Chain A
């Protein structure tokens, strides 16, 4: 009996590295950020003082902050909806045993490829392609599609469109692979049984596939949400790192970085942006969990059936 308890202690030893790592690199920064957000601390002065909610008051009085929040949501939603739609279609095609698409591995690799590229390289590529003296202008003007060269990256709508496209292009392969993994894990016998019972493709999708991949779907939604709320590298590198033109691609994290990176390094004010993003993301993630939670079957459902 006593030896059994001792055996269990090994478990603690093996999870210790993670727990310690989480406490030091996960929990401590979060707590510290929250603490900092109530101070006027800058990196260039040794002292700082507690200023209560003043950082937050400044944020909500500042139109730039609200712009950043709406931008972040819009940019994320505009790339996530097509991303999950396309990923679903591709995943269904690739896993469909009746379609038997050839070279699934190669397609999957090609779609995943953009994700392997460094964000800075991708941003530099698009930045050169769409610059005023760049190849896209040359092509469009010489083939008479445009009357004269357009400064694409000075146009808010085009700049946004590019960010959305790049984010979509870099991430739909990843989402496809996750969905495919979830779909291939479903036993084919379920589909065979459904088929024998006379179910159509759409019915099989909504009654078998969707419920069974729900945990993966929640995972994709939440990770994409967390990533989307922290969107930084592409919009930062595509233009001047300040969300230009006209703050159209200014995201939360660029806003936070600008505060941190200003000549004095206002980390107190920057932390307050981080805290708001943290609260917002947590709230929405919890809402997703709540809406997509496993509904316990009550006796009523069975009776109805």
Chain B
């Protein structure tokens, strides 16, 4: 009897331990078809469900492969944290998606494999140079992207007509062709609207623009470097704040979005308008279009937008794919990346809306409801872009832009973008500037104090950086 109770208590203790050790289901795992024994499993991690569409399409042409897709959101950096924590362990995935903010830290590290033999496909498809340059470190190719993300300037057609007498993109581009002209135009907008229309919504809108046009990266030989373009950015945002050309909204916050559907009101309830937004390719389908109609449907700006290159060429964001060095399925992982980023048929399907939910369901019935890719994402291959641009003349996106084919506009802007200056530490260094910059704009810090506060913040995050 006693023995039985001892055994029982051991079992209880053991089961408690086991239950404590089982992994909590912390990530959303979407297993594409049920794993059968003969299929080769390829583990893919990403931070959105976008690439799941491609993974399903990949299974159509590779029926012997089972792509296990894991989505971990990156809202507060969960994805980066989870990925960093698995580096060097057995849990590491085969293929990883890397966002612009952190792609460089991985490309610069030793964790990604050399996938340079894919470059011949990139040359064939005439990929925009920055699409693969970002994925390069010391001449080695480690990541490729399916998108190109050149930036543009979106403006309100009705307001352009009111203040400049024309809403023609060609004429507007002439008026805003460089920063001196842009500032002059901001003054026109302010005087003609009696201060009720702002040229831009937030000072954050300018940052990507100026950062993309620097001549030196943030870190040169281990030393923190401030390019003249950064100083010019500070100068420009100060001018916009002091002259009331900027609505003092914050990017990605209420006021910034309200300006897109014309519901921005100041604290007294006076309506205010925003003339233009700096947004990249993906900004149109993912940011501007969804926010162009107010939540109560009473105010909409659909059809009232135009797009121009704006004063400076730039690029913003993007998703790259890389192969982890530890993978045991190198060839398959490379093939997956080739298919997603350097395959003419796939890129065409991706951009033209072929991957509907029904299409994906036909390949794999377990695909979630709503999983699909709408037409209009700007892909990284010049060959594909040239072939499909004309097809967007009558698309929904063109209707949104008052009949303008934005795809053509992006195609014109894409070749002049360069991303050679991107470094792994960019994101943290640039974020550190936000708070001191805003204090400077408010007048609570002098210019001098702003730089030193920023340097302190950078020093705190990068202990081994030389900062003068």
Given A43-B84, A133-B255, A240-B434; A58-B13 close (CB under 8 Å): no
Interface status of A8 (Cβ within 8 A of chain B): no
Interface residues as binary, B30-74 with A (CB distance below 8 Å gives 1, 0 otherwise): 000000000000000000000000000000000000000000000
Interface status of B102 (Cβ within 8 A of chain A): yes
Q: Which of B237-278 contact A (CB under 8 A)?
A: 248-250, 253-255, 258, 264-269
Inter-chain contact B264/A261, CB cutoff 8 Å: no
Inter-chain contact B432/A242, CB cutoff 8 Å: yes
Inter-chain contact B438/A245, CB cutoff 8 Å: yes
Q: Which of A224-274 contact B (CB under 8 A)?
A: 240-242, 244-247, 255, 258-259, 261-266, 269
Interface residues as binary, B418-448 with A (CB distance below 8 Å gives 1, 0 otherwise): 0000001111100110110011001011000
In the assembly, what is the distance between CA of A242 and CA of B429, in Å? Answer: 12
With a cutoff of 8 Å between Cβ atoms, the chain B residues found around residue A16 in the complex are 13
Given A151-B248, A240-B435, A265-B84; A137-B267 close (CB under 8 Å): yes
* Pairs across A and B, CB under 8 Å, 26 listed: A13-B9, A14-B9, A16-B13, A17-B13, A17-B17, A21-B20, A44-B84, A45-B110, A46-B88, A131-B253, A131-B254, A133-B267, A134-B254, A138-B265, A151-B248, A241-B76, A242-B431, A244-B434, A244-B438, A246-B435, A246-B444, A247-B457, A255-B460, A261-B80, A263-B424, A265-B84
Interface size on A, residues (CB 8 A): 51
Across the A-B interface, the 3 shortest Cβ-Cβ residue pairs: A244-B435, A141-B267, A149-B267
With a cutoff of 8 Å between Cβ atoms, the chain A residues found around residue B434 in the complex are 240, 242, 244
| Chain B contact residues: helix, strand, loop or mixed | helix
Of the candidates B76, B80, B264, B269, which one forms a contact with A142 in the assembled complex, judged by CB atoms under 8 Å apart? B269
Interface status of A96 (Cβ within 8 A of chain B): no
Given A17-B16, A45-B110, A131-B255; A264-B442 close (CB under 8 Å): no
Q: Which of A56-98 contact B (CB under 8 A)?
A: 58, 62-65
Interface status of B466 (Cβ within 8 A of chain A): no
Of the candidates B88, B445, B461, which one forms a contact with A258 in the assembled complex, judged by CB atoms under 8 Å apart? B461
- Chain B interface residues toward A at CB < 8 A: 2, 6, 9-10, 13, 16-17, 20, 76-77, 80-81, 84-85, 87-88, 102, 104-106, 109-111, 248-250, 253-255, 258, 264-269, 424-428, 431-432, 434-435, 438-439, 442, 444-445, 453, 456-457, 459-464
In the assembly, what is the distance between CA of A143 and CA of B280, in Å? Answer: 40
Closest to B464 in A: A40
Of the candidates A17, A131, A148, A245, which one forms a contact with B439 in the assembled complex, judged by CB atoms under 8 Å apart? A245
Given A258-B461, A264-B424, A265-B84; A141-B268 close (CB under 8 Å): yes
With a cutoff of 8 Å between Cβ atoms, the chain A residues found around residue B109 in the complex are 44-45
Inter-chain contact B17/A55, CB cutoff 8 Å: no
Interface status of A20 (Cβ within 8 A of chain B): yes
Given A138-B267, A240-B431, A263-B427; A133-B460 close (CB under 8 Å): no
Interface status of A202 (Cβ within 8 A of chain B): no
Interface status of A128 (Cβ within 8 A of chain B): yes
